[in-house]
Amino acid sequence: MTTPELDEEPHAADRPVAARKYTNSSVKELAANEYAHTEPLTTPVEQCFDWARELPDLVATSHGALEFYLVVFRSIRKSSANSDQLYSADAAAHDEARLSGGLLKYWYGILNERRECLAMCIWASRDEAVKAIHKPAHREAMKLAPVMYDMYTLERYSLRIDANLCPTFTLLGSMSS
């Protein structure tokens, strides 16, 4: 990347979270090549990934469940953000969530030239997600938001999958900084 404020940004393969191979085989990552857009702030969640490709694995991983809880984090990172500190906090929160149970898929996007990014978690249920956000590493990561981001939006969805593996996304709520 040539933009000065992005020069310290690690390549996707070097990212602590994105490059990690998890020992818990129930947690799957969405691959970067499945990220279907370059406008992370405005692209509807339905168009963010090749969902038809992801859904069979999601249903199999969750033992046939057809309803999930989706959390989408859209952000513009501050040019002064400490990427190492951010990735370290994200990795700790992710590990904690993975170990607490209920996290089925996780994806952390690549910053575009405007420092915009999208991250997403798919949970077995809202209760599992709520349990994870009250854990210490997640609370520490949340404290970094005002320091690391010019703005962010947190969106919560119900993701229902019908018998033909067609997804329906229902926005449950959102908040912005």
Closest CA to 105 of 36, 150, 140, 55: 55
Give the whole-angstrom CA distance, residue 12 versus residue 32.
8
**Distance set, CA 141 to CA 16, 49, 131 (Å):** 15, 25, 15
Count how many Cα atoms sit within 13 Å of the Cα of residue 84 in the half-sphere of its side chain.
2
By CB atoms closer than 10 A (0-12, 13-18, 19+), residue 6 is: middle
Give the whole-angstrom CA distance, residue 138 versus residue 73.
14
Domain boundaries, the chain: 4-115+127-176
Closest CA to 64 of 158, 156, 161, 169: 161
Give the whole-angstrom CA distance, residue 173 versus residue 177.
14
pTM of the shown model: 0.77
Q: Residue 173's CB: how many other CB atoms inside 10 A?
A: 8
Give the whole-angstrom CA distance, residue 104 versus residue 57.
10
Question: Running DSSP on this structure, what letter comes out for residue 102?
Answer: -
pLDDT score, position 106: 87
pLDDT per residue, tens digit, the chain (177 aa), is 222 232 333 333 333 333 333 333 334 444 444 555 668 898 899 888 778 777 777 777 666 668 899 999 999 999 999 989 998 999 999 899 888 888 988 888 888 899 999 999 999 899 999 999 999 999 999 999 999 999 999 999 999 988 788 889 999 999 998
